[in-house]
Structure 1
Amino acid sequence: MVPPASRDAPESAGHGEAAAPPAAPAPWAASVRFGLGVLLVAMAAAAFAIAFRSALALALHRAAGTSDVVAAMLAAPRWARLALPATGGLLAGLLGMLVARAPAGHGVGDVMEAVVLGRVRLSMRVTLLKSAASWLAIATGGSIGREGPLIQFGGAAGKLVSDRLGLPIDRARLLIAAGTAAGFAAAYNTPFAAVLFVLEVVTGIVVLDAIVPALISTVIAAAITRAVLGEAPIYGQRTFHLRSPAELLAFAGLGISAALGAQGFMRLLSFGERQFRRPWLGLPWRPAAGGALAGAVVAFLPEVAGNGYEPLNAVLDGRFPVGFLALLLLGKCFATTASVSSGSPGGVFTPTLLLGGGAGVLYAWALSHAGVPLGEAGGYALVGMAAATAATTHAPLMAAVMVFELSGDYAIVLPLVLATAIATLVSRRLRRDSIYTAELRQRGIGWKMTMEGRRMVEPAAAPRDSARRGSGR
C-alpha cells in the first residue's frame, strides 16, 4: 500500500517468510470479495464495540445500580475502591499469561506494522484475550481507556476476514486499515477523524486505495453504532464563540502549553514502565501491583476511575472548581500511569482527552485572572483536548477534526487548527517519536517520513523515554 515501505521490508504473513503471490482471480471477482470484506469488517467492528460497551454497562448496573464506573466507585466503600482495581489488574495479568506474545504493545503499533510493512501478525485470539483483560480492568475501576480494544479488534477483524476470503497481502493490508478506521469510528462516533487516524497515524501518507475502503467502513460502523447507541456526539453538542481575532494568540499559547503537558505525561508513562519492568515482578503480579496503586488514588479520588469520559463531561460543563480540577488531573496522570505502565491492556487516548480538556480550563482560568479578556472556558477545554491529542499522536488534522466532530460547532475550527498545529510542532521538537512510533522503535523498527511516504531506517539506540505501553492506545 505504501510503495517505499514495501520495498524496504519483506511482506510476510506473520511467519517470517515472504508471502507467495496468489493466483490472480478475475478482476471483478477480486473486487467483489474485497467489497464483501469491507462490509464484514465494518459490521464486526460495530458489533464488537456495541457488545463491549453494553456488557460493561450491564455489569456495572448489576453490581452497583449504575452504568457509570465513576458513580459506582463513588458509591463503593473506600476499601472496595482500593481492592477492586488491584483485583482487576490481577485478573488481567492472569489472562495476559495466556497470550503467547507478551502483552506489551499499543495494538495500534501492531496495526501500523501490518499495514505499512506488510508484517501481518494480528491474531484474533490474542486480541480477544487482551480485550477481555481490558474489560476486567475497566469494570473494576482501572484508569485506562476502552477505545484501545475496539480499535485493535477492527484491525484483527480485517486480518481474519482477509484470510477467510483468501485475499492477497496488499488487499489484506487495506482491509486491516479499514477495520482500524471502523473500530475508531465505533469508539468515538467520529467517522472523519477515524479515516484521518488511519491516514495520519497508521499509513502516514494519503493513499487513495486506503481512503475509499476506510470511508466506507467508517460509514457502516458509525451507522450501526448510532442506530444502537444514539446519534448525538458522545460528549454532547457544544457551542463556541471566539471573543475576537486577537484571542487566537491565547489559543496559540494553549497549543504550546498542551504540548509541554503531553510530553510530561508521555515521559511519566515511560518512567512508570521502567519501574514496573523489574525481573522479579512478572505476570500476573505486575498489573495487580499497578491496579493497587491506581486503587490507592481511586480510594480518595473516585473520579479518576475508568477512561475519563464522565469527568470530561463535567469539565466541559464547568462543574468542577479549579482546585479540585488540578487535583483530578494529577490523580489521573498517576492512576493512568500505574494502570497502563504495569501492563493492564487498555488505551490512553480518552485519558489524554481528559487531561487536555482540564489543562485548557486551567489555562483559561490563569489568563483570565491575569486580566486577559477571554471567551468561555469550555472552548479552551475543547481546544485543549485536541492539542493534547495532537501532541501525543503527531496527528494534528485528526485531532482537530475529531474535536470538531465531537463539538459539532464550526466556529471552533480556527482555534482547533492553530492549536493542534503548534502542539504537534512543539512536541516533535521535544521528541521525534509519537506515542505510537516510540513503541515501534523499541521493537527495532525505525522509519522517517518523506514526500513519498514512510521509509525504513536503521533505528538508533532506543531512547530512554520510549515506552512499550499496555495494548491498544
Structure 2
Amino acid sequence: MQGHTTRAGDFTTNGQIVRLSGAAVLVGAACAVIAIALLKAIYLVTNIAFFHRLSFQYVTPTDNHLGVFTLLPPIIGALAIGFIARFGSEKIRGHGIPEAIEAMLVNGSKVQPKVAFWKPISAAISIGSGGPFGAEGPIIMTGGSFGSLLGQWLHTSSIERRILLVAGAAGGMSATFSAPVSAVLFAVELLVFEFKPRSLVPIALASSVADVIRIAWIGPGPIFPVPSLHTIPYIGYGASVGLGFVGSLAAIVLTRSIYGMEDLFRKLPVHWMWWPALGAMAIGLGGIVSPRALGVGYDTIAAVLNTQLSLHTVLILLVVKALIWVIALGSGTSGGILAPILLIGGCLGEALGVVMHAPHPGLWALLGMSAVFSGVTRTPFTSVIFPIELTHDFGALLPLLITSCIATGTSAFVLRRSILTERIARRGLHLTREYSVDPLEMHLVREIVSRSDVKVSVQAPVRHVAKLILESQTEMPTWIELVDTSNHFVGAMQSTAILHSAKRDPSRTIGACMGRVVEMAADLPVKRVLDFMIQEDLEWVRINDEQQPIGFVSVQQLLKLRERYLQEEQHRQRTFSLPWWQPTIGDGSTVQDA
C-alpha cells in the first residue's frame, strides 16, 4: 500500500490558500462596514446620553455639562448591558479577544449568530454611555464572528474557520485604527496560532481590503498625527530602556488588578448581571473628576501625544482612567482594551518626560504607549509597528523596538499569563504563545531509516521465530526484519508482536502475521510520516528510495528525534576556553581537568 507522497518544501501550501483568500476579501470588506457602523452607533449613544440629541456626529463625553448627573449615563448603560448579557448572550461580557480565542480553542472556531448580533449593540451602549473602553475589541469580536459565520456557511474545516475568524478580527482592527500591518502582526502574534502562508495571506488580504474601504470612506492619514522626529537625541534611547521597564511594571499591575477586581465581584451576593451597574458607579465618579477618562478617548490620546495637556491634567487622567478601567472591566461589562492601554501608557510616558524635562515629551508618550501595550498583550512586533501606523512617526522606530522588547521580556518573565490569556486559563483551558518549527519538520525520514540485525524469512512459521526469540542467549532486538526468498527486505515485526501471534495461531507463517505493508518515500519530512502513521494507526512503515525498499521506521524512532532536541535544549557545555582563564567546577578542579 502506497502512503502519502507529497514532497517536502519550505511551506505546506495548496489550493486551500486560494479559497481562503477569496473568502477573506469578503470578510475584510464586511469588517470595514461593521467598524464604521459601530463607531457611528457609539457616537449616536454618546450624543443621546450626554447631550440629549439625535446625531451620528463624532462627539466625546469630555465636553458634557451634566455635572454630578454624569453618574447617570454609565449606570443606565450598564443596566442595559446586564440585561442583554443575561437574556441575550453571556458571551458579550468582556473585551472580546479572549472570547474569540475561546471560540477557536473549544468550539471549532464556531461563533453563535446571536453573539455577532448582540456584541456590537452592547459595545455601542457601553462605550457611548461613558465606558472607558475602546471600540476595537468589540469590532474585532464582531468581525471575527462574521468570518466564523461565513466559514460555517461554506464547506470548511475547523482550521479554515479559524483563519477566517482571525481574518475578520484583523479586518476589524485595521478598519478601526487604519493600521493594516499592525492588524496582521497582532493576528499572527496572538490569535491564529501559526505562521503559514495559508493563514498569513488571507489575513493580510482581509486587513488590506478593510483599510482601503476605510480610507475611501473616512479619508487617508494617521488617526493620531504628530510632528515627525527626524533625529532622536541620545536621551531618547535611554528613555526607551527605562520606559520599557516602567511600562511593563505598569502592565503587570494592571493585569493583576483587573483579575483581582474580577475576583472581588465574584464574591458579591448579587447576580452577575448587576455587576456592570456597580462598576458604572465608579465610572460616573471618575467622569466627574476627569471627564476625559470617559468613552473611547481617541481625542485625548491625540492630545497626550502632542503634549497639549498640563502635567496636572495628565496625572489625574492617568490615575482616574486606570482605576475606572480596572473596575469596569472587572465587573464584566462590554468594551475593548487597546485604546485604554494606549491612553494609560501615553499618560505615563508623557508624565515621566515632563518630570525629567525631556526635550520631546511626545516621544516619551509614544514610547509609554508601546511599553504598556507590549507588556499587557506580549505582542512585541505589533507594539513596534502599531504606534508608527497610528502616528506616522517613522523616526521613532528604533526606540520603539528597544522599548517593546524590554517590556515584553519583563512582563513574560514576571507573569505567566497576560490580560488576554488569563481569562482563558481561568476557564480551564491552556494555550501557548510560543511559535517554533517542529523538529520533525526539519528532517527527512531517510535520515532515521533503520534495518535490523536479525533477519527472518517471511515463509518461516511464526512458532519457530517465537521459539528463536525465547531461547536466544542474547538480548533480541525490538524489531525483527522479514526478507523474501531472495533475501530482499519486505517488512518488519516487533518481537512482542511475534510472540503474541505465535500464541494465537502458531501454524501461520510470519509473513501472514505481519499485516499490511505501507510504503512511503524517503524524501518526506519525518513530521508528515508520523502524522500519516497516527491517522492510519500504524506501528511502522516501509521506506522506499526510488521505488526500492531501504528499510523501515517505527513511531518510537520518529519520536526519538524529539528526545534529541530536548537534549540540545537542556544540555550545556563549554566548547572552548581562554588559555589564561579556566573556570572551576565546584571542587576546585578546572573544566579541562574534568
Is the 1:110–1:121 contact (alpha carbons within 8 Å) kept by the matching residues of 2? no
Match of 2:361 in 1: 377
Going from structure 1 to structure 2, the CA distance change for 1:72 and 1:254 (only over 3 Å counts) comes to closer
Once the two structures are superposed, what CA deviation does each residue of 1:353-393 show, in whole Å capped at 9, x if it has no partner? 0010111111112222xxxxx43111111111111100000
Q: How many residues align?
A: 423
> Alignment partner of 2:407: what SS?
helix
Going from structure 1 to structure 2, the CA distance change for 1:446 and 1:80 (only over 3 Å counts) comes to same
Residue identity matched to 1:39: V
- 1:223 is aligned, of 187, 199, 212, to 212
- 1:434 is aligned, of 397, 403, 418, to 418
Paired with 2:135 and 2:380, the residues of 1 have a C-alpha distance of 22
- 1:56 is aligned, of 35, 42, 49, to 42
> Alignment partner of 1:448: what SS?
coil
Paired with 1:279 and 1:393, the residues of 2 have a C-alpha distance of 29
Paired with 1:424 and 1:29, the residues of 2 have a C-alpha distance of 37
Is the 1:307–1:350 contact (alpha carbons within 8 Å) kept by the matching residues of 2? yes
Residue identity matched to 1:173: R
- 2:377 is aligned, of 387, 393, 400, to 393
**What is the 5 A alignment of 1:154-303?**
154-245=143-234, 247-303=236-292
Match of 1:16 in 2: none
Match of 2:336 in 1: 347
Once the two structures are superposed, what CA deviation does each residue of 1:211-232 show, in whole Å capped at 9, x if it has no partner? 1001110111011111112211
Is the 1:151–1:187 contact (alpha carbons within 8 Å) kept by the matching residues of 2? no
Match of 1:109 in 2: 98
Offset, 1:431 = 0.5
Match of 1:457 in 2: none
Paired with 2:192 and 2:45, the residues of 1 have a C-alpha distance of 37
- 2:28 is aligned, of 42, 50, 56, to 42
Going from structure 1 to structure 2, the CA distance change for 1:206 and 1:68 (only over 3 Å counts) comes to same
Offset, 1:347 = 1.2
Q: More deviation in 400-409 or 66-75?
A: 66-75
Paired with 1:423 and 1:29, the residues of 2 have a C-alpha distance of 40
Offset, 1:130 = 2.4
Residue identity matched to 1:375: P
Residue identity matched to 1:252: V
Match of 2:409 in 1: 425
Q: More deviation in 407-416 or 108-117?
A: 108-117
Larger RCO (CA within 8 A; separation ≥ 6): 1
Match of 2:432 in 1: 448
2:304 pairs with 1:315: yes
Match of 2:574 in 1: none
Residue identity matched to 1:272: M
Identity value in percent: 28
Paired with 2:89 and 2:61, the residues of 1 have a C-alpha distance of 34
Once the two structures are superposed, what CA deviation does each residue of 1:57-107 show, in whole Å capped at 9, x if it has no partner? 244446358878874453232233111101111011111112444544542
Is the 1:96–1:130 contact (alpha carbons within 8 Å) kept by the matching residues of 2? no
Is the 2:374–2:407 contact (alpha carbons within 8 Å) kept by the matching residues of 1? yes
When normalised by structure 2's length, the TM-score is 0.67
Paired with 1:359 and 1:51, the residues of 2 have a C-alpha distance of 32
Going from structure 1 to structure 2, the CA distance change for 1:293 and 1:30 (only over 3 Å counts) comes to same
Is the 2:174–2:207 contact (alpha carbons within 8 Å) kept by the matching residues of 1? yes
When normalised by structure 1's length, the TM-score is 0.83
Q: Which runs of 5+ in 2 are unaligned?
A: 1-12, 439-594
Is the 1:73–1:141 contact (alpha carbons within 8 Å) kept by the matching residues of 2? no
| Between structures 1 and 2, the one with greater helix share | 1
> Over aligned residue pairs, what C-alpha RMSD do you find?
2.4
> Alignment partner of 1:137: what SS?
helix
Is the 1:181–1:194 contact (alpha carbons within 8 Å) kept by the matching residues of 2? yes
Paired with 1:46 and 1:178, the residues of 2 have a C-alpha distance of 12
Is the 1:318–1:378 contact (alpha carbons within 8 Å) kept by the matching residues of 2? yes
Going from structure 1 to structure 2, the CA distance change for 1:28 and 1:419 (only over 3 Å counts) comes to closer
Paired with 1:65 and 1:129, the residues of 2 have a C-alpha distance of 22
Offset, 1:450 = 4.8
Going from structure 1 to structure 2, the CA distance change for 1:445 and 1:238 (only over 3 Å counts) comes to farther
In terms of Rg, which structure is larger? 2
Q: More deviation in 277-286 or 313-322?
A: 277-286
Offset, 1:116 = 6.1
2:119 pairs with 1:127: no
Match of 2:387 in 1: 403
Residue identity matched to 2:398: L
Once the two structures are superposed, what CA deviation does each residue of 1:100-145 show, in whole Å capped at 9, x if it has no partner? 4454454222333444677324223123212211111111111122
Is the 1:307–1:351 contact (alpha carbons within 8 Å) kept by the matching residues of 2? yes
> Alignment partner of 2:228: what SS?
coil
Match of 2:64 in 1: 75
Q: More deviation in 139-148 or 236-245?
A: 236-245
Paired with 1:298 and 1:68, the residues of 2 have a C-alpha distance of 21
Paired with 2:102 and 2:182, the residues of 1 have a C-alpha distance of 21
Residue identity matched to 2:370: A
> Alignment partner of 1:97: what SS?
helix
Going from structure 1 to structure 2, the CA distance change for 1:213 and 1:451 (only over 3 Å counts) comes to closer
Paired with 2:397 and 2:318, the residues of 1 have a C-alpha distance of 26
Match of 1:15 in 2: none
Is the 2:240–2:403 contact (alpha carbons within 8 Å) kept by the matching residues of 1? yes
Paired with 1:200 and 1:29, the residues of 2 have a C-alpha distance of 25
Going from structure 1 to structure 2, the CA distance change for 1:207 and 1:282 (only over 3 Å counts) comes to same
Is the 1:45–1:221 contact (alpha carbons within 8 Å) kept by the matching residues of 2? yes
Match of 2:320 in 1: 331
Paired with 2:385 and 2:193, the residues of 1 have a C-alpha distance of 17
Is the 2:32–2:175 contact (alpha carbons within 8 Å) kept by the matching residues of 1? yes
Is the 1:196–1:398 contact (alpha carbons within 8 Å) kept by the matching residues of 2? yes
Offset, 1:37 = 1.6
Residue identity matched to 1:388: V
Match of 1:462 in 2: none
Paired with 2:106 and 2:293, the residues of 1 have a C-alpha distance of 37
Q: More deviation in 414-423 or 238-247?
A: 238-247
